[in-house]
Amino acid sequence: MTDLDTAWVRAQFPAFAEPSLQGQAFFENAGGSYTCQPVIDRLTRYYTQRKVQPYAPYPASQLAGAEMDEARQRLAAMLGVETDELSFGPSTTQNTYVLAQAFGQLLEPGEAIIVTNQDHEANTGPWRRLADRGIELREWCIDPETGQLNPDDLENLLDDKVRLVCFPHCSNVVGQVNPVVEITALAHAAGAFVCVDGVSYAPHGFVDVGALGPDIYLFSAYKTFGPHQGLMVVRRALGALLPNQGHVFNGDTLYKRFTPAGPDHAQIAACAGMADYVDDAYRHHIGGDASPVARAGAVHDLMRAHETALLQPLLDAVKSRNSVRLIGPDTARNRAPTVALALNRPGEEVAVDLAQHGIMAGGGDFYAGRALGAMGVDPAKGVLRLSFTHYTSAGEIDQLLTALDAVL
Ligand SMILES: Cc1ncc(COP(=O)(O)O)c(C=O)c1O
């Protein structure tokens, strides 16, 4: 397989040429990624040439509306879903909140929702609050040692009262990639819908949501090289069933039903830049004709191969230290490069020390306090989190390992 051309990749991200960031190695990508050039170009063009109300009959407005439509159409095609099954909201947290309101209206008291304690709060808190409306909440719990979700445990929680199963594609502190196809099949066989938080996985490649099978798949564009938007796939059968949460006159338009906030026109338009980036990467590394979902899949595989090769030395370096508890698996395969470490002092303090060595990292609970608590991590200390993505270089991993040696 072709290797990822990191020099080409880094040339697509202005941050790597930015003088004030020279010598700074970025390891808080799970919090938010650098932005790629096509997104910045589209945002600038929108604000300078098209910043008018879209979908009106004059040229600037028509270009604005067309670019918003282009973003939805191209990204939906890459995700293997229909154009109107993808919508944009202000953030994933807001999108799950709106969806929870819709499920709250759809479900009868006594029906059940399964949530995990591995999720970021965004895909668990809004669902748990439905208990106030008489909906039963069942918790699918992680193994306290490994942080893993075991599908056998889910099977024991499923019965004909369960209407929805919510879980992460990958936790933002455990890092392990959950078997979405297997879990979705279990839930569907029991007659339940499935909501997957893809926020921590999507920065490592766009997936074929159609093939994975969930009814809802969510991620955040500001972590996938784009602007601050939440992307939400709601498959048609579920989207049509859930009560409309938007304006009454938007109820017949699937992609408007779960976005009660007025859309951020410029940012939605700029999201097309994420599709440009994937297509440019495909052309640069592979080329030839392929469907959007196949192009995204090929770029995903290139990114993951690069990340996996860089991740193993980091895992090896931390797992052998007595003063460190590595959260999640110690092998790179089937793991995102999101590495949380529980230490004998607060993660945030260690991040401050790492900053002296040009490492940009963070400490805390990363809104995954339920998972860290279940694993016995002291909430006062939290974890140090080191997260990278495909644009990270081997040199930056070396810089991180040297800094960790000095600081731990
Ligand atoms: C795994 C995961 N899910 C959900 C969210 C929430 O996303 P947003 O900031 O778009 O609300 C985050 C944000 O860090 C996350 O890491």
Q: Is the pLDDT of residue 139 over 80?
A: yes
Find out whether 197 and 169 touch, Cβ atoms under 8 Å. yes
pLDDT of residue 262: 86
- For ligand 1, residues with CB inside 6 Å are 91-93, 120, 122-123, 168, 172, 197, 199-200, 220, 230
CA distance 352 to 340: 16
**Closest ligand 1 atom number to CA of residue 367:** 14
CA distance 251 to 256: 7
Q: Is the pLDDT of residue 40 over 90?
A: yes
**Closest ligand 1 atom number to CA of residue 220:** 10
Task: Indicate the burial class of 82 (C-beta count within 10 angstroms; 0-12, 13-18, 19 or more).
Answer: middle
What is the 320 CA–ligand 1 centroid distance (Å)?
Answer: 30
CA atoms within a 13 Å half-sphere pointing along the CA-CB vector of 363:
24
CA distance 54 to 56: 6
| Average pLDDT estimate for 119-139 | 98
Test site for ligand 1: of 33, 116, 171, 367, most ligand atoms within 8 A of the Cβ: 367
Q: Which domains does the chain have, with CATH numbers?
A: 6-35+292-407 (3.90.1150.10), 42-275 (3.40.640.10)
pLDDT, tens digit, for every residue of 271-293? 999 999 999 999 999 999 999 99
Find out whether 87 and 69 touch, Cβ atoms under 8 Å. no
pLDDT, tens digit, for every residue of 42-76? 999 999 999 999 999 999 999 999 999 999 999 99
Percent of the chain with pLDDT strictly greater than 70: 100
pLDDT of residue 1: 67
Q: Is the pLDDT of residue 170 over 80?
A: yes
What is the 160 CA–ligand 1 centroid distance (Å)?
Answer: 30
CA distance 101 to 66: 31
Q: C-alpha angle with apex 138: 135 to 142, nearest 5 degrees?
A: 155
pLDDT of residue 399: 98
pLDDT of residue 140: 98
Q: Which residue in the block uniquely carries the two structure tokens 């030395």?
A: 313
What is the 126 CA–ligand 1 centroid distance (Å)?
Answer: 13
Other C-beta atoms lying within 10 Å of the C-beta of residue 91: 17
What is the 140 CA–ligand 1 centroid distance (Å)?
Answer: 20
Token duo for residue 40: 């910045």
Find out whether 324 and 341 touch, Cβ atoms under 8 Å. yes
Token duo for residue 282: 């495909």
CA distance 294 to 282: 10
pLDDT band, very low/low/confident/very high, at 332 (cuts 50, 70, 90): very high
pLDDT, tens digit, for every residue of 71-110? 999 999 999 999 999 999 999 999 999 999 999 999 999 9
What's the whole-number average pLDDT of the chain? 97
pLDDT band, very low/low/confident/very high, at 261 (cuts 50, 70, 90): confident
pTM over 0.85: yes
Which H/E stretch holds residue 272? helix 272-285
What is the 30 CA–ligand 1 centroid distance (Å)?
Answer: 9
